[in-house]
Amino acid sequence: MNLLIDSLSSAFQLLLSFDEELFNIVGVSLKVTCASTLIGSLCGLPLGFWIVFASFPGKRLLITCLNTLLALPTVVIGLLVYSFISRRGLFGSMELLYTQQAIIIGQIILITPLLTTLTIAAVSRIDKRYRNTALTLGADRIQMAMVIFWEARFSVIAAIIAAYGRVIAEIGISMMLGGNARGFTRTMTTAMALEYDKGEFTLAVALGLILMGVAFSINMLFHLCQGRLRADDL
């Protein structure tokens, strides 16, 4: 119990002291997670829509593969991306290893299958009559997809929230591809692992609490968006 109280007080002290390093860590975390969620959404959502509406051989197999990728450990993604961007890798010349871009690439690979499968689930649940109604009213495929997106908006936003939760909480990719470089690639999770290794439990838990606070704030933001969308119904 003392550990929790101490951690809480440390967390508040850290926040109130406007510790530059702490804000830098939170800033890096927010920057990479927002970028990876945004790019992952731009890839995963249209892919999910396309899989639902297109008919092609192997569609079920593709969905099964995407579902399997949900269980992909972050360490495996880290190793895979490392093999491509390390000095001896295919993209070694781009010098991406131990940069924020490398973390973003890894996190995109982590969440794209999640966003795609959740989009497939969300769009598949939408009544087929929405599609036919949009088409008979003269919509083309893109306009029809926009109608379906509107009707599935809450589930799609929930998918984005889930994806964001996955990237802000992951550590394997950030550690392996970012390298936990102070001031550059140190994120909240890698900082926590470091503090734990150093035996600074109180600071690690405090960082964890800050992470939870940040995640809570981001979720609140999404929920405000959902509320706004509900109000736009009229």
Partner 1 sequence: MIYNISHLTKKYRKRVVLDIKELTLKRGRIHALLGPNGSGKTTLLNLLAFLDTPTSGTISFLGKNIERTESALVALRRKVVLVDQYPIFFSRSVYHNLEFGLKIRKIPKPTRKKRILQALELVGMTTFSKSRAHTLSGGETKRAALARALVLQPEVLLCDEPFANVDTENQEHIFKILQEINGNQKISIIFSSHDRPKAELLAHETLYLNNGSLADNRLNNVFPSIPDEIPGQYKIQIAQKYVFLKGPVNPGGLHKQRCCNLYIDPEKIKLLTHNHLSSEPGHITATVQEIRKHRKGIKIIAQSEIRLHLHLSSKEYRNNPPLVGQKISLIIAQDAVTILPTQN
Site for partner 1 in 145-174 (CB under 8 A): 147, 150-151
Closest separation between CB of residue 55 and partner 1, Å? Answer: 12
Report the 10 Å Cβ neighbour count for 197. 9
Looking at residue 38, the DSSP 8-state letter turns out to be H
Q: The dihedral of CA 97, 173, 50, 164: what is its sign? A: negative
Give whichever of 57 and 199 is closer to partner 1, judged by the CB atom. 57
Is 232 strand, coil or helix?
A: coil
Site for partner 1 (CB under 8 A): which residue of 134, 156, 160, 163?
A: 134
Count of residues interacting with partner 1 (CB under 8 A): 19
Report the 10 Å Cβ neighbour count for 144. 18
Q: Which residues contact 209 (CB under 8 A, 6 or more apart)?
A: 7, 8, 11
Told to check if 2 binds partner 1 by CB under 8 A, we report no
Told to check if 136 binds partner 1 by CB under 8 A, we report yes
Give whichever of 45 and 134 is closer to partner 1, judged by the CB atom. 134
Report how far residue 115's alpha carbon sits from residue 191's, in angstroms, rounded to the nearest whole number: 27
Site for partner 1 (CB under 8 A): which residue of 13, 83, 143, 219?
A: 143
Told to check if 138 binds partner 1 by CB under 8 A, we report yes
Q: Which stretch binds partner 1 (CB under 8 A): 40-48, 49-57, 61-69, 133-141?
A: 133-141
Closest separation between CB of residue 24 and partner 1, Å? Answer: 43
29: tokens are 């975390």
Q: Which stretch binds partner 1 (CB under 8 A): 30-38, 144-152, 167-175, 196-204?
A: 144-152
Report how far residue 101's alpha carbon sits from residue 99's, in angstroms, rounded to the nearest whole number: 5
Q: The dihedral of CA 146, 147, 148, 153: what is its sign? A: positive
Binding site for partner 1 (CB under 8 A): 127, 129-130, 132-141, 143, 147, 150-151, 233-234
